[in-house]
Amino acid sequence: MKLRSFGESRTSAARIIFIIAVFVVALAAFVTRLLTLQVAESEHYKELAAPKNEKTVLVQTTRGEIVDRNGEKLVTNRGTYSIVLNRSLLPRGQENKVILDLLAFFDKHYITLPDIMPAEQAAPYRFIQPEDSAGKRYLRTFLRNTEKTENEIYGTALYEFCLKRYGAEKLSDITSEELRRLMGLRYAMEANDFSVAVPYTLIQNADVILVSELSERLYTLPGVEITVESTRHYPGGSLAAHLLGRIGPIYAEEAEKYKAMGYALDEIVGKDGAELAFEQYLKSSDGYKTVEYSADGEDILSEKVSEKYPPVYGKTVVLTISAGMQRAAEEALKKTVDSINIQNIRNGNPNRASGAVVVMDPDSGAVYAEASYPTYDQNTYRDTISDMLTDNSRPLLNRAVNGIYPPGSTFKIATAAAALHHGIVDENTRFYDSGIYREYEDYQPHCWHFDKYGTAHGWQNVVDAITNSCNYYFFEVGRLLGLERLNEYASKLGLGEKTGIETGEETGILAGDKYRASIGLPWNPGDLIQSAIGQSDNSFTPIQLASFFSTVVNGGTRYKAHVLKEVRDFGTGEAVVETSPQILDTVEISDKNLEILKRGMRSVVEDGTAASVFVNYPHSVGGKTGTAQRGKGDDNTVFAGFAPYDSPEVVVSVVIEAGVHSYTAASVAKAVFDYYFANTEEFSE
């Protein structure tokens, strides 16, 4: 037996001690980790051990709101019920029965759906050519979907085609009136691209009681659905209706454009006015988020917005419009127009008045008010559209930016400014008004004062001529200026030029040989002197007149007209877009010449053609009246003015169709000035 040496024993003992030490350390680490898991981090691991309870949730967003410069809400959103037809649920071959049953239900509740079919309401149901843009658009869509041409639907052909297309030729258990209503609705469905992908909305913002009763009968009306959706609400009703505009579905002719912009084709978009102009800011998109609930489903543990499909809320669009001034302008315009129309009815005069008002900041181009009358209530638009489309007063026309009117004598300010600038006259230059202008042998027009009173104005300088609106003086000034210099200066003042307003506008017409050539007619020497007094072919929009007067009274800077003040983020309320004045053009108006022009316009309201309106007015203002002859008792009246006199901060233009007397337009402007002077702090920024 071999005995181990002392050294070997020591080595063996050391190994044992090392192993024991490693074991102790490992045991300690294990115990420590075990304590950590079971005590310190027990709650965390209990949560991990619990079964996951996650759901992907649709996040519905809303279109952005529109507010005025002071934050008053002009357009908001409201949850409403809509009654729609769903093509995918409407039984093939049963469409007429379902629709007739639905119409009978509506009859019991005294509900009449709009009829946009361009055919007579009674036999023989002849075709009626649509005159409005909406009616024309519906017809184009109908013809495209049915592969028909307009020539193929004249006379009674449209109605007969619809009877055959919709299988209604053999319907014998209904009246002719019921059949006409059925065809009208089938036409409307076709004209709105009714399909599996595009439902047809019968009633928007349906009454709760109606919805409740209909819901009980839905089992008998396959294809009819009640949907809950967010719709636009207009707290002011008709307030700024034309300016705010409306929303609607994407039309077939717009599909490619919106598809390229990333829109789904069933989305609602702005169709006109601010709703269209600021679509990029107002647009919202529904998105998704992942919500994690506790195991029992009682508590929300976390929420995570989808990175691929995040919800996008519409932004708040802040307009430069003052809701208060807008009300003042609309109320004064309505009162004046209604008064004229009542008087016309009493006198057996068939003419009907209408009009527009634009109020502008001359130092920025910001629009404070933009009114057009007749107007309509935005909240009842769908219910009244059929009547409005056939209303001869054209309530859908935004006269403030799309109405084109002769400026009358307000144009004389442009003629006077051009003559002063080119040295044709100064404040001391006088011409003698003899009543009849005899410069041309074959054309000798009269001054209005001579025609009306049988006497002439006599000697007139530029201030006198503006005050008295002397045609003779401006005939002579226009002749001496010549067309080229007159129109070059007038164009720089903004006449016949677009103002740049975001919501769209007509250009207007600056009279001259170029315009005449464009319509194939000659330009004669007599046309020049008529254009110098605002007649001939001169025709401008009310917003152009406001821009023109703003350019004059601010000393020659023509700013881009605008209604957008800023855009605010939905969540934070912080401004993400802010507008600043944009200069479109400049024209030279010396301080001396501006003082002469303003003095003449102050004299108009104190001693001249608008004095009867502003008698004893406590504030100093200036302006110019105008009358554009259209026919007996049918003259358009115009007024453009500014306030305060010393440092103009607001310009107003008013046009009243068939206004008869120039003071009618001036009285509307006075109401605007009244509001301004009572609320100057609102416009101090």
pLDDT tens sequence across 640-653: 999 999 999 999 99
Residue 111 lies in a domain: yes
The residue among 472, 366, 459, 372 whose CA lies nearest residue 412 is 472
Residue 168 pLDDT? 92
Q: Is the pLDDT of residue 635 over 80?
A: yes
User: Do 651 and 401 meet the contact criterion of CB atoms below 8 Å apart?
Assistant: no
pLDDT in tens, 355-365: 999 999 999 99
Residue 357 in domain: yes
pLDDT tens track for 32-47: 666 665 665 565 555 5
Domain stop point among 193, 228, 255: 193
Whether 77 contacts 231, CB under 8 Å: yes
Does the pLDDT value for residue 288 go beyond 60?
yes
More confident residue, 634 or 31: 634
Chain segment 235-262, per-residue pLDDT in tens: 999 999 999 999 988 988 898 999 999 8
215 lies in some domain: no
Round to whole Å and give the CA distance between 648 and 665.
Answer: 20
Whether residue 127 is predicted with pLDDT greater than 90 in this model: the reply is yes
Which has the closest alpha carbon to 320: 635, 546, 506? 546
- Domain for residue 296, yes or no? no
Residue 507 lies in a domain: yes
**What's the confidence (pLDDT) of residue 405?**
95
Q: Is residue 584 part of a domain?
A: yes
- Answer yes or no: is pLDDT of 8 > 80: no
Q: What is the largest CA-CA distance in the chain?
A: 160
Please compute the mean of the pLDDT values over residues 146-164 and round it to a whole number: 94
Is the confidence at residue 84, as pLDDT, over 90? yes
Q: Of the ranges 1-5, 153-157, 316-320, which is most confident? A: 316-320
Residue 454 falls within a domain, yes or no? yes
Look at residue 1 and tell me whether its pLDDT is greater than 50: no
Query: What are the DSSP calls for 467-506, one per residue?
Result: HHT-HHHHHHHHHHH-HHHHHHHHHHTTTTS----TT---
If pLDDT is split at 50, 70 and 90, which confidence band does 132 have?
A: confident
Inside any domain, residue 578: yes
Distance between terminal CA atoms of the chain?
113
Range of the domain at 540: 337-370+398-651
Query: Which CATH number is 346's domain given?
Result: 3.40.710.10
The yes-or-no verdict on residue 27 having pLDDT over 80 is: no
Can you give the pTM of this predicted structure? 0.76
Nearest to 117 by CA among 383, 388, 386: 386
* Residues with Cβ within 8 Å of residue 298, at least 6 apart in sequence: none
Least confident of 288-292, 422-426, 583-587: 288-292
Q: Is the pLDDT of residue 462 over 70?
A: yes
Report H helices in 313-459: 323-346, 381-389, 399-402, 412-421, 448-453
pLDDT above 70 coverage of the chain, percent? 92
Shortest CA distance to 276 belongs to which of 259, 254, 294, 297?
A: 254
Q: 303: pLDDT confidence band, cut at 50, 70 and 90?
A: confident
Rg (CA), the chain: 36
- Give the least confident one: 59-68, 509-518, 554-563: 59-68
Which pLDDT does position 176 carry in this prediction?
A: 92
Q: Would you state the pLDDT for residue 104? A: 94
pLDDT in tens, 401-456: 999 999 999 999 999 999 999 999 999 999 999 999 999 988 999 998 898 889 99
Single residue among 193, 216, 238 that ends a domain in this structure: 193
Number of domains the chain is built from: 2
pLDDT exceeds 90 at position 102: yes
| Nearest by Cα to 540 from 407, 667, 656 | 407
- pLDDT of 23 > 90? The answer is no
- If residue 466 lies in a helix (H) or strand (E), which one and from where to where? helix 462-468
Q: Environment class of residue 72 by beta-carbon count within 10 Å: exposed (0-12), middle (13-18) or buried (19+)?
A: middle
Choosing from 193, 211, 230, the residue where a domain stops is 193
